[in-house]
Structure 1
Amino acid sequence: MFELIRHKTTSHKADILSGLTVALALVPEAVAFAFVAGVEPIVGLYAAFIMGLITAIIGGRPGMISGATGAMAVVMVALVAEHGIQYLFAAVVLAGLIQVSAGLLKLGKFIRIVPYPVMMGFVNGLAIVIFLAQLGQFKTLDANGVLSWLPQNQLIIMLALVALTMLIIQFLPKLTTAIPSSLAAILTVTLIVVLMDLDTRNVLDFLRSMSGDINATIAGNLPTFSIPSVPFNIETLSIILPYSCILAAVGLIESLLTLTVIDEMTGTRGQGNKECVGQGVANITNGFFGAMGGCAMIGQSMININSGGRGRLSGISAAIALLTFILFGSDFIEMIPLAALVGVMFMVVLGTFEWASFKVMRKVPKHDAFVIILVTVVTVFTDLAVAVFVGVIVSALVFAWEHAKHINIKVREDQNGWKVYQLEGPLFFGSAAEFLELFDAQSDPEDVIVDFQYSRVCDHSALDAIDTLAERYGNAGKRLHLRHLSNDCKKLLQKAGDLVEVNSIEDPFYKVAVDKVAP
């Protein structure tokens, strides 16, 4: 029903107009996340500008939008509360250095180990998080300082404007794609509110309610260079290092997963390692220019893709437009109704959520369906990094459990009267215990052959199991012959000794994943 990809090709016009649309949507997000982190709104707006500009220029995924994000803001709040904003800037610089190092070490490729069910759960979870975040725009503080729903008349007006915004976004592309439908919707709804003088909240109302300052504004000056005012010693490093590591990890996970989602949607491929470097350079710059840092934003990236933004110019345009708003256009931006921006984000939710997952979960194995639901729930109730780690770990354990059940043997007798165990299936930590239970050293004949031709020795646990088996047969006074093992397996087996038979023609040459080295 809801088609997210409306523009298939790149054009400078589409990039510029989509960048302008994204910039409008960045303002309330940057302000909100600044308050989450416990810093001034301008610190969040500077982060959105710097992140967006630098990652658009040197990042690895054209069309992806970066800025201040909630995932990183929740990590920052404790540091700011305990040590102050200058320590935050230092932590952001160090996090950027870690991210650059990850890119140079080509660690971005490890995003490939994230299973598809985890990706699907991640997307669904973020869609729900974006939706729940928008519900806050329908609430306000009452006289007692309690957050409650808007008065009925204001709530009806806002719901009607949200619905109008969504209708314009959905149906305008059927008439024309000359202007991004999201931008047209924002401008149209703003014009209606101003001309009809409707009683509905705008960006300025949101800013004032968040700050409690009646004179609050998004207006500001150019960010200026400044070295974080912290002591350069071991104590400072011990304070900021844990936060920097978490910020770097969260930022890279969210950015690389968002990159993967955009790759899938656009049928193109970004460069993960280059994106790590881009994110790192942007965060280093943030720390030296009084900004809170950030990472890729899936919501704004979806707005950009939906509005036709494909090239680097879209991200550059969004960043420059945002800076223009800060310097010159604050009065116009502050009058934009929140309903228009909420409507845009609701369409992002509808386009981002994997509705096909409901059908998929009925067809895929139960454990994959469980992972999808698990990652979705954990993303909503904790954060993205935790959800991805949990999903990957659960998927790995399920994989190990399933493959551990696939090891079995075929028993026969050769021409010499020796008993031959033909092993089938992978031998690794999950199947090592079951492997040992397949043999009976006391009852077997004097000579026993274990043939690994149709098996693979995967890790050190497997080697230890083979050594243990050789020791059992040795203690029983019997000879165990191991055939078709790879060369590195032979070198690492200690207890088997000369029981390993060499066959240079038939033996495999694969490597086994171990940390142990031959003496």
Structure 2
Amino acid sequence: MFEIKANKVGNLKNDVLSGLTVALALVPEAVAFAFVAGVEPLVGLYAAFMVGLITSIFGGRPGMISGATGAMAVVMVSLVALHGVQYLFACVVLTGILQILAGIFKLGKFIRLVPHPVMLGFVNGLAIVIFLAQLGQFKVANEEGIFVWMQGNQLFTMVGLIVLTMGIIHFLPKLTRAVPSSLVAIIVVTVLAQSLDLDARTVVDYVRDMTNDPAASIAGGLPQFAIPQVPFNLETLKIIFPFALVLAAIGLIESLLTLTLIDEITGTRGRGNKECVAQGVSNTVNGFFGGMGGCAMIGQSMINVNSGGRGRASGITAAVGLLCFILFASSLIEQIPLAALVGVMFIVVIGTFEWSSFRIMRKVPKADAFVIVLVSGVTVATDLAVAVVVGVIVSALVFAWEHAKHVDVKRSVNNHGSTVYDVNGPLFFGSVSNFLEQFDIDNDSDDVIVEFRNSRVADHSAIEAIDTLAERYIAKGKTMHLVHLNAECKKLLEKAGDLVEINVIEDPDYHVATDKLA
């Protein structure tokens, strides 16, 4: 599925160097998402540190990077605007509790239900979102504080440094893989911009533009423990619960889909339920230490994977490195040109987008091609959670429609003069109408056998259809027997009582998927 050529074997050196690269890329992202949520830059930076550290230590997917994300920030902004940042911290605590419960009840396994076309649409949509997010770096604040597009030498310098960054990242691995090419590119471009005194916007310029504060900085101290200053009553719960529920869903969907993506790239398998719990713990801690919470970040995760990060040490290094930047090295990090970080993210976009989806569009079913485009578009227009839900629903409806046409009933008469109906194909809500239409009740013998050896009774609609069929035969004074039903169907059919007769001896056993998948 994914054509990124990533080394599947990790080591501590690669993890540490890759983690430092990710830490540098986390700074402007965390600041930007804090701005989107309507909170101070340090609230986003603290979130990136705490979420990244806890999920790297306890999460179910080594090598995956978590932090403050835009998908969650756009939900937070209205809560902050209406009730203030303390309600946000309380909401993040509740979000974490809901995510922990999702892991305890093993809901992570349901990510396996996401169809392949939805995954393709997910990665393509996220690549487009990451690309569009970088375009904001090409804007500067004018004297009135309004953001306008760069022009003249400043624009040419920005583009030139981006191209240089991308060139280093692309060509350096052909010479050596001793160090991550992204880290080398950031260092080289920073040294070049500083030594030549180029008119290049830096991280501190971005922070000051975002906050409209000429003295703003990413410098800060350690996060401090504090219980959210909100009334602990039912009214507060009514305010924060809807937001917490949405944030928990968005965070888990994005994290579990990113986990699946990294699984495919690295050829390993993460543990979805463990990741749910780790994400929940990290968000709960965030709420008590002044962070805005977060989830897995596909962009930073791709940087980590492409730079050789495979183990937990890469995520731990990224989180600790980010904290060190805040505590000790803010003045150095603030001098990094934004062009270097934009160049790194553009490489991520190129690697994330599934270019082969263009080639396969004509080779896959039209419905699957439609789902790929639909999920990509909805991801860009709204957010990831909505896109995935829409994609899964459309895929499920297509599946139901196609399989509704596949139930076939063959009529015959056995040696005893009984009418035998052999059902082929699944019986569920979509196929029950077609199923009932294929019985000739008036012309059947007084003894009717319905054979389910080649069928599966899937849901309550199917049970109701069988019940309806039995009633029709009884109304005509005829007897209907059901044979070779699976164990699950027998339980569902208990309500039919004497209307049906089941051949218990010959019935086979069926087994369904368990939580081991997650």
Give the TM bin, normalised by the shorter chain.
over 0.9
Amino acid at match of 1:429: F
Q: Note if contact 1:48-1:67 (Cα within 8 Å) is conserved in structure 2.
A: yes
User: Is 2:318 aligned against 1:318?
Assistant: yes
The 8 Å contact of residues 412 and 420 in structure 1, kept in 2 or not, is answered as yes
Report the AA paired with residue 25 of structure 2.
Answer: A
Paired with 2:500 and 2:444, the residues of 1 have a C-alpha distance of 18
Q: Hey, what does 1:195 align to over in structure 2?
A: 195
1:121-200 correspondence runs (5 A): 121-143=121-143, 146-200=146-200
Contact 1:490–1:500 (CA<8 Å) still a contact in 2?
A: no
Q: Distance in 1 between matches of 2:355 and 2:197?
A: 38
- Do the aligned partners of residues 284 and 495 (structure 1) sit closer, same or farther apart at CA in structure 2, a change above 3 Å counting? closer
Q: Residue 226 of structure 1: SS of its match in structure 2?
A: coil
Does residue 223 of the first structure (1) align with residue 226 of the second (2)?
Answer: no
Matches of 1:190 and 1:132, distance apart in 2: 23
- 2:6–2:265 CA contact under 8 A, matched in 1: no
**Aligned counterparts of 2:155 and 2:488: Cα–Cα separation in 1:** 70
Matched with 1:517 is none
The 1-side partners of 2:103 and 2:504 are apart by 41
Closer/same/farther in 2, CA of residues 196 and 277 from structure 1, 3 Å limit: same
Q: Which runs of 5+ in 2 are unaligned?
A: 514-518
2:454 aligned counterpart, secondary structure: strand
Q: What are the Cα deviations for residues 273-329 of structure 1, in whole angstroms up to 9, with x where unaligned? A: 111111111111111111110011010011111111111111111111111111111
Cα deviation digits, residues 80-129 of structure 1 (max 9, x gap): 01111001001101111111111122221111111111111111110000
Q: Where in structure 2 are the equivalents of 1:361-372 lying within 5 Å?
A: 361-372=361-372
Could you tell me whether the CA contact under 8 Å between 2:470 and 2:500 is conserved in 1? no
Match of 1:288 in 2: 288
Percent of aligned positions with the same letter in both sequences?
A: 70
Partner of 2:275: 275
3-state SS of 1:363 partner:
coil
Find the aligned partners of 1:112 and 1:492 in 2 and give their Cα distance. Answer: 26
Letter in 2 for 1:167: G
Counterpart residue number, 1:23: 23
Confirm or deny: 8 A CA contact 1:93 1:283 kept in the other structure: yes
Deviations 1:220-263 (A, max 9, x none): 11111111111111111111111111111111111111111001
Cα distance in structure 2, aligned partners of 1:207 and 1:189 = 20
Judge conservation of contact 1:488–1:512 (CA < 8 Å) in 2. Answer: no
**Distance in 2 separating the partners of 1:511 and 1:434:** 27
Partner amino acid for 1:271? R
Is the Cα–Cα contact under 8 Å of residues 172 and 181 in structure 2 kept in the other structure? Answer: yes
Q: Tell me, in whole angstroms, the C-alpha distance in 2 between the residues paired with 1:13 and 1:68.
A: 26
Distance 2:502 2:365 in 1: 41
What letter is aligned with 2:442? Q
Asked if the contact 1:468–1:495 (Cα under 8 Å) also holds between the matched residues in 2, the reply is no
Which position in structure 2 is the counterpart of 1:300?
A: 300
Alignment check: 8 A CA contact 1:445 1:478 kept:
yes
- 1:119 matched to which residue of 2? 119
User: Does the CA-based 8 Å contact 2:169-2:181 persist in structure 1?
Assistant: yes
| Matching residue of 1:34 | 34
Counterpart code for 1:15: D
Partner SS state of residue 361, structure 2: helix
Once the two structures are superposed, residues 171-211 of structure 1 have per-residue CA deviations (whole angstroms, 9 ceiling, x without a partner) of 00111112110010001111111111111211111111111
Cα distance in structure 2, aligned partners of 1:324 and 1:300 = 18
Q: TM-score, normalised by structure 2?
A: 0.95
TM-score (norm 1): 0.95
Residues 6, 266 of structure 2: 8 Å contact kept: no
* Matched residue, 1:81: 81
Q: Deviation per CA, 1:4-42, whole angstroms, max 9, x where unpaired?
A: 444332111111111111010000000000000000001
| Structure 1 residue 447: Cα displacement | 3.2
Query: Who is 1:357 aligned against?
Result: 357
Q: 2: distance between equivalents of 1:82 and 1:162? A: 39
Residue aligning to 2:465? 465
Q: CA deviation at 1:497?
A: 4.7
Q: CA RMSD in A?
A: 1.9
Partner of 1:516: none
Q: Secondary structure at the match of 2:424?
A: strand
Specify the alignment match of 2:516 in structure 1. none
**Mapping 1:343-492, distance limit 5 Å:** 343-486=343-486, 489-490=489-490, 492=492
Shift of the 47–455 alpha-carbon distance from structure 1 to 2, 3 Å rule, reads same
* Contact 1:467–1:494, Cα closer than 8 Å, also in 2: no
Contact map agreement 2:407 2:431 (CA 8 A) in 1: yes
User: How far apart are 1:491 and its partner, in Å?
Assistant: 5.3
Query: Whole-Å Cα distance in 2 between the matches of residues 463 and 508 of structure 1?
Result: 18
| Shift in alpha-carbon separation, 1:257–1:488, aligned structure 2, 3 A | closer
SS in 2 for 1:362: coil
Deviations 1:343-400 (A, max 9, x none): 0000000011111111222222111111111111111100011111111111111111
- Offset at residue 136 of structure 1 (A): 1.0
Does the 8 Å CA contact 2:47/2:293 hold for their aligned counterparts?
A: yes
Q: What stretches of structure 1 of length at least 5 have no aligned partner? A: 514-519
Partner of 2:254: 254
Q: Deviations over 1:414-434 (max 9, x none)?
A: 223332221111111110111
Bigger shift: 329-338 or 341-350?
329-338
For 1:110, the equivalent position in structure 2 comes to 110
1:242 and 2:242 equivalent? Answer: yes
